[in-house]
Amino acid sequence: MPNRSVDLLLTDPPYGINIDEIATSVGRETGGVSTAGYKFTDRPDKAFELYTVLARESFRFCKSTAHAWIFVAPEYFHAVRTIFEAVGWLPHVRPVIWVKRAVGQCNAPKCWPASCYDMILYCRRPDSELVMQGRPDWIQVPPVEPSKRIHPTEKPVELLRELIQRTVMPNSVVCDPFAGSGSTFRAALSLKMRPVGCEIDKTAYAAALEALSKEVKS
């Protein structure tokens, strides 16, 4: 990416919570259940390597007026915040909360409360200004239904649209280096932004490209 060419970093890197130990999938569906058997590496050490590179490189390729939204696991919010702050980003002290549902999910309901939210790290560059000022530090949007996901960690377009609109104007460059399902691209295009990004996994890339093609044709 060229230096100082991006207006908004909006991305969802691997969380580093070993989600790859659980069967995940992308692509075709049978009986309402996705069955392609897609898996990805989600070890903590690998995730923090990626966060470190992401922080450094995004500081280089983002403009002095840029913003960043990075989805993070709650247990690593402060650690990831420190990584971005160390390279020069100005991270918010508190996370923005994505409220996903009224009824949560929990693998051990006898022991722990059910999970109903995710955390998003917001960072800014020194000359940036929010477009939608005074918005709350939480957003309530339902998650993508499992039977409709083309990626195991797919984020809803409605949520991504809200994050984009809070921070940049139409024609801005929106970058997602962990494109996954391509939902950031679909959200950005619907708002007349210029999305750029990449996806390392060929299966996810193909699924995202197909979904994006259908979106453009419609």
pLDDT tens figures, 162-200: 999 999 999 999 999 999 889 999 999 999 999 999 998
Pick from 36-45, 95-104, 168-177, 201-210: least confident: 36-45
Q: β-pairing, 29-30 with 33-34? A: antiparallel
1 lies in some domain: no
Q: Which of 50, 59, 51, 112 is nearest to 88 (CA)?
A: 59
Phi and psi based region of residue 103 (left: phi greater than 0; alpha: psi -120 to 50; beta: remaining): beta
Q: Which helix (H) or strand (E) holds 141?
A: none
Indicate which CATH number applies to the domain containing 47.
3.40.50.150
- What is the extent of the structural domain holding 53? 6-217
Tell me the whole-structure pTM to 2 decimals.
0.87
CB-CB contact of 174 with 184 (8 Å): yes
State how many domains the chain has: 1
197 lies in some domain: yes
The mean pLDDT of the chain is: 88
**Residue, of 102 and 4, whose pLDDT is higher:** 4
Q: Which of 172, 159, 94, 168 is nearest to 129 (CA)?
A: 168
pLDDT recorded at residue 212: 86
